[in-house]
Amino acid sequence: MLERAIAGHPAFAVHRVDVERAGPSYTVDTLALLRAELGAAGAAAHDPRTRWDDAGRRELVFVLGADAARDLPRWRDPVGIARLARLAVLSRPGHAIDVEALTLAVPALSGRIEVLPERQIAISATEIRQRVAENRSIRYLVPDAVRAYIDEHRLYARGAGP
């Protein structure tokens, strides 16, 4: 679905590091695999959209919602996460993010968090799944290609299972 959602957007890419490995999936491990896969300069050095970290590597930015960011100190190796990527925290209605408290809990995050302004697009994955299960439209809530994929594979429909 993600591949369909970003089709035609050259600034985005799908990496399958979590899909192609066995065992539990932890963010710090995923970021480490992405770091290894992306390596250093190479062809991206000529792309003006590429940002570089202090070590001359492509900068990774981990995007997460404010609700998830609040729990980050309890995640596996939050210091490792901070070393591997900057955080872009999306504000969400009803979920304030206290950057100071977060950096007190994980000092390695200091200066590595950017809070993105709240956008009032009240769409959630939970709502999408619920609407599909209730046979209600998700048009305009997801890209048409994603909606087609959900329909083709009967994802989230009541009675549909693995």
Give the pLDDT of residue 41.
46
- List the chain domain ranges: 2-122, 123-162
Name the residue with tokens 């799944």: 129
Give the pLDDT of residue 162.
46
Give the pLDDT of residue 101.
95
Please state which CATH number belongs to domain 2-122. Answer: 3.40.50.620
Record the pTM: 0.67
Name the residue with tokens 């997801």: 142
Alpha carbon distance 7, 112 (integer Å): 29
Tens of pLDDT, residue by residue, the chain (162 residues): 888 888 888 878 888 888 888 888 899 999 998 888 876 544 455 455 566 666 666 788 899 988 899 999 999 999 999 999 999 998 877 778 899 999 999 999 999 999 987 766 667 888 899 999 999 999 888 989 999 999 999 998 876 554
Give the pLDDT of residue 159.
61
Give the pLDDT of residue 48.
54
